[in-house]
Structure 1
């Protein structure tokens, strides 16, 4: 979501996404794959696209000589068998991208399971072969089909880049964005909902779609129309959606932030909670989805009622919560610090809790805490988990994942299940 504008980017990943999109559309190697196949690309060290959860993850990097290329990950995925992708090539020159992707696809096409749809993903193949054997297969396939005329040219890369030209930024110095003394709400919004921009004087703004009495990610037609107007006024007409179920204005002048905040606040879209516990990612669940085993939205609402105090949320710091209504894991609950999965027990809605998941530079899969809980106990369980975290963290910078890894799940499990054992 921050592609092309974040200040820690090696290169903009969007042109390479477009190259892959054009190459893969109607490509015959994709026509007979055992099952679905997803590719994610990032351009910075911070993983904002969860590349280790995809069949192929590509990270733009520079080698020792300064040449641009990719670190290639293969074999990620969630669902009923969550796995993190593993590195198959530390550095792939950018001109070799499509040939190497084709080699990976051909190995998967040749050896991927076709007798069981639950085992027909490349993650299962990588897991069964082992990453070293899989890598050898890919390298052999690539060398067998290597030809100079299959390499990406500078002209092709430049053509893809032409679709993503930067807007006409004004030459600004670092503009003052501090809050007026009377507006502590604005100060909180600056602290939680603003990202640094690569161009001096500009900022990236998170428009939070998390609010009481509204499903996470929901927005009214009136609000959406107003955001379109605000994008025209403040951000070169561009709005982006995020994996976190929020929206972004990518190119806002620092001097415009206060005026923008006032208008967002009037629209009830200035909730200053990005990255906090209640910045929940939640699937539609049983209220709207035929695949779901349980409802998700009431669980989110119950948790929200217990953590409505902003100061409490800020004291907790960055903390992720994701809620999925079934094993398809549409909310990616496996990679949340606290993940909740709806399950069906004899026709009744129960919820399994996982702890210790993480996305970004230190991706990890959460571990199941214990037996699934009925709906009425879930919010209380989350509150108890948070209590254990707060009691055992060294200071406010001690993350939930760090505390969980240090303690293990025993104290969390004991607190949640003690009175119902």
Structure 2
């Protein structure tokens, strides 16, 4: 993983000192809240419903055991003993005191972490495939390019005050695990016919009030042109993106209103002036960054497969965990492991200080000191020997980290909702907990198969409900909470925006409504191998509307 150089250390330390002075002046009354607000947001400090919230950057979701232990320490010392991992591969603390935030940032800086650009109208944390560098199906590790983009975009003088926040995601595989089509810029690493590495470029995706899928504007961009072309895109957006209406300020609206052909023309025209300039990436610079991400030396562990068969036969729970939470690795003696932060009935994405400490210990013992955070709010060990899966599982189980549900109906994405967020209309967490409990039996989950539920407490869609196979959006109607159901969303290489299926449901009825949707799917799928999303695309919304609202319902 990337290590700070002298510039990084000096820059982050200076930023902490600057913010410490700003906080002291705010607490003394020298700075009013209106003037302090943009200063705290530049350092990841939000004012939420009940308290301040601090969002810490985990670039492209990669960290090590030392950093995870620091996150645990912060949860224990400055918060209420837990942190919340987010859909941008970051972590949030919901209860820090404003007076403590400079000390928190100082502690973070000691392990090469910070909270810069986790808020504001700037380029946010660049995200990537959580199996990067390990996945058997990737063309190349996307993290070096995510790091190049991070270095380029950090306090970029031209792009620090964009019309609106800006998000970039990079994947290295044809199978998209980074949701690139719902980002402002999505990049897919690929090789051309000559074996040269480059990117397919997608622009203008996003969720929120107006969900839109990105448009592909380049099928192959040479890797040397990554920064030049990205600069051209953001420069055109910065020039023409709307600043008079924050609801229409994202690049997705610019793409929609200008048209993808005309916008591509403008980007290409800008690119002509940039492509052979100082932003062109030299091979040696790419190689230098790539060296930081060299995979660990993986010793041969051929005994793992014989052991695995015996362990699975002896323990049905372990066999289910391997089935759901273990992913193929480039090296056949190894695997990538998903550590679920979705225990049955639990709060999606939350981890206690003791759980984070345990993850750090186990990463050192079994995973070559590498940890990833997924945009689905889980923790990943990218390199685990097949021979170590059983002892790892045994260590995770007592801590509530061994749930075998990755990709299943209880692996729910949910935003903090009205329990924490001042923007929310409805609570996300209790709905997620009730759904998880209702569908929590291993047998029921196995019968249902792959099904992604995503819940947002407001239209800002921090829970990614638009791209859930089943999406739930909390709205307010006449002072009461109500939940809209969308069906058919997806965030992979076949991305789609879910359709609103009909009128909303009260909190006490929404779990029954989801169960009706699930039972309808089970009744009409062709066989057990047909996933929910495939069934929905085959039959459309009407059978589900009929089940929810009555035969031949036209509810909308």
- TM-score in terms of structure 2 length: 0.74
Aligned pair 1:341/2:470, yes or no?
A: no
Structure 1 contact 172–200 (Cα < 8 Å) conserved: no
CA distance in 2, matches of 1:335, 1:99: 31
Question: 2:139 corresponds to which residue?
Answer: 10
Question: 1:206 corresponds to which residue?
Answer: 338
Tell me the CA shift for residue 205 of structure 1: 1.0
CA distance in 2, matches of 1:182, 1:171: 25
Change (3 A) 1:222 1:27: closer
Tell me the CA shift for residue 32 of structure 1: 3.6
Change (3 A) 1:32 1:217: closer
Q: Which runs of 5+ in 1 are unaligned?
A: none
Structure 1 contact 96–151 (Cα < 8 Å) conserved: yes
Question: 2:168 corresponds to which residue?
Answer: 39
CA distance in 2, matches of 1:317, 1:212: 16
Could you report, residue by residue, the CA deviation over 1:175-227 in whole angstroms, capped at 9, with x for unpaired residues? 31223433111111111110111123111111111123421122222222122
Tell me the CA shift for residue 174 of structure 1: 7.0
CA distance in 2, matches of 1:368, 1:389: 17
Could you report, residue by residue, the CA deviation over 1:5-56 in whole angstroms, capped at 9, with x for unpaired residues? 1111101111111111111123232034211111111111111111111110
Question: 2:405 corresponds to which residue?
Answer: 273
Aligned to 1:89, which of 209, 218, 222?
A: 218
Question: 1:133 corresponds to which residue?
Answer: 262
Partner SS, residue 195 of structure 1:
strand
Aligned to 1:119, which of 248, 270, 275?
A: 248
Change (3 A) 1:32 1:299: closer
Change (3 A) 1:66 1:180: closer
Structure 1 contact 356–367 (Cα < 8 Å) conserved: yes
Q: Which runs of 4+ in 1 moved over 4 A?
A: none
Question: 1:326 corresponds to which residue?
Answer: 458
How many residues of Structure 1 are paired with residues of Structure 2 in the alignment?
421
Change (3 A) 1:144 1:349: same
Aligned pair 1:288/2:420, yes or no?
A: yes
Aligned pair 1:99/2:228, yes or no?
A: yes
Question: 1:263 corresponds to which residue?
Answer: 395
Partner SS, residue 28 of structure 1:
coil
CA distance in 2, matches of 1:228, 1:206: 14
Higher RCO, 1 or 2 (CA under 8 Å, sep at least 6)? 2
CA distance in 2, matches of 1:231, 1:406: 42
Aligned to 1:22, which of 146, 151, 154?
A: 151
CA distance in 2, matches of 1:82, 1:263: 41
Map 1:405-420 → 2, pairs under 5 A:
405-418=537-550
CA distance in 2, matches of 1:390, 1:180: 28
Q: Let me know the Cα RMSD of the aligned residues.
A: 1.6
Question: 1:170 corresponds to which residue?
Answer: 299
CA distance in 2, matches of 1:81, 1:221: 37
Partner SS, residue 371 of structure 1:
coil
Aligned pair 1:143/2:272, yes or no?
A: yes
Aligned to 1:237, which of 366, 369, 383?
A: 369
Aligned to 2:439, which of 283, 299, 307?
A: 307
Aligned pair 1:357/2:486, yes or no?
A: no
